[in-house]
Amino acid sequence: MEKLFILGVRYTVREEDYTCCPTETCFGGGREPEVPRFGAGGQGRRLQEIAPDGTLIWDYVSATDTNLLHHDVAVLPNGNIPAIAYEHVFAERSSTLGRKPDQIPEQGLWTDVIFELEPIRPDGAEIVWQWHMLDHVVQDFDPGLPSYGQIAEHPELVDINIGGLIQQGTQADLDKRRAENRLPPNASLRNVGSDLMYSNAINYIANLDQIVISSHNFSEIWILDQSLLQSRRLATMEVAGVEVEIFSIDGVIRPYMVRGADADQKLHHQHDVKWIPNGFKGAGRLIVFNNQVPSENGPYSQVSEIDPPQDDLGHDVIEDGKPFGPTEPVRVYTAADTISFYTGFISGAQRLSNGHTLVTSGPHGRFFEIDEEHNTVWEYWSPYSGEVRLPDGSFP
């Protein structure tokens, strides 16, 4: 059987020869011009399920003034689809949640919600479960608000005063970023900084019954565990009869300074976190593209494989007064000189069935496969990526 991989290039999808074969239907999303848009990436409104022969099986559209699908989806064993969506929070409500006034754009914030969708083919869906970031916030700015608390004492909650920080700039700065396609056309000084979390990936592992998401703006990856260990002190929420916990894993310890100093930070505006599937080398670990690792010679990128500490029931362990584990990744890939492998945004990595790892360097249109010794065994440069050039200066 012909073996292919699928790549998306802006508004198109292409198939190319490779070492894996699509044997199941695939799911994808798309951005369309009529959706609400603001100063953030990954916005969309449409989810589609497409069979290997190209047949469109499901075409679901969801976009309102208050909710907007973005970035990524996962697929559960029962066929349901957890999808990341933006949730609009007006400026006044953002203030009552404890967000500092100088960090609230005029048009308010867009925070994250996860909707579990049960597809009703050919074009419908029912929301059977949902998780809202706003139900899990803490802040130490305004003691008169219900969300007030000592942030270091609440690792299970989200500090609403980090992430999506407004960067002061000029209209000329904004115009330049729009011209470089780094912002959508209607981004303005009124809404830049409104994307609080910038979640860019969601993934599910069945045997642990856990969802993992990646927050670019927090430089953290979070796990939502739906099978709680009752003896632990947790912040929980019940939605549709299901309790959910939130806690950070191996992310920045910035919001919880008791638990680690800035030097403990391992993730830097990462993308594409995934569980390594059962049956694959490293099963049960996380793999993530760590985009902007700082160094004296400038930022560089890594692919990190993380083995979160777990108890006998598969729940991730957080020890009181200590940084979130693990202290180091199990495995890290980067270039020998570090700085020659740098991708400041998008990009990803996934474990293959042969134990190798497929890495994508998104802005450069580069795909490559590395073995367990980090040797490059296959490489492809997309000719569909605009002005991308090969290392020798030629076009792909």
What secondary structure letter does DSSP report for 193? Answer: T
89 beta partners:
109
8 A C-beta contact, residue 212 and residue 275: yes
pLDDT of residue 177: 78
User: Is the preceding omega at residue 326 within 30 degrees of 0, hence cis?
Assistant: yes
The span from the CA of 369 to the CA of 367, in Å, is 7
d(CA 198, CA 201): 9
At 322, list the tokens. 């200590």
pLDDT at residue 309 above 50? yes
Q: Give the mean pLDDT of 41-49.
A: 80
Report the pLDDT value the prediction gives residue 214, as an integer from 0 to 100: 92
CA–centroid distance for 190 within its chain = 25
* pLDDT-derived band at 238, boundaries 50, 70, 90: very low
Give the pLDDT confidence score for residue 224 in this predicted structure. 83
Q: List the domain boundaries for the chain.
A: 21-197, 200-351
Sign of CA dihedral 340, 343, 347, 350: positive
Instruction: Kindly state the greatest CA–CA separation across the chain.
Output: 65
pLDDT tens profile 353-382: 999 999 999 888 889 999 999 999 999 888
Higher pLDDT: 228 or 101? It is 101
- 């000189």: which residue's tokens? 337
Task: Say what the pLDDT of residue 242 is.
Answer: 41
- pLDDT at 163 (0 to 100): 77
Indicate whether 170 pLDDT > 90: no
Q: For the ranges 22-36, 44-58, 217-231, 360-374, which has the lowest average pLDDT? A: 22-36
Q: Characterize 217-239 residue by residue with b for buried, 16 or more Cβ atoms within 10 angstroms of its Cβ, and e for exposed.
A: bbbbbbbbbeeeeeeeebbeeee
Query: Closest Cα to residue 386, out of 365, 361, 359?
Result: 365
Cα 327 to Cα 314: distance, rounded to the nearest angstrom: 19
Confidence of residue 391 (pLDDT cuts 50, 70, 90): low
Written as six digits, the tokens of 189 are 């000084």
Answer for the pair 366, 381: CB distance below 8 angstroms, yes or no: yes
What is the identity of the amino acid at 9?
V
pLDDT at 389: 58
Is 336 or 258 the better-scoring residue by pLDDT? 336
| Stretch among 79-93, 97-111, 244-258 having the lowest mean pLDDT | 244-258
Residue 351's pLDDT band (cuts 50, 70, 90): very high
**DSSP helix/strand/coil, 66:** coil
CB atoms within 10 A of CB 383: 12
3-state SS, residue 95: helix
- The pLDDT value given to residue 394: 59
**Closest Cα partner for 205 from 300, 98, 290, 314?**
314
Tell me which residue of 230, 262, 257 sits closest to 243, measured CA to CA: 230
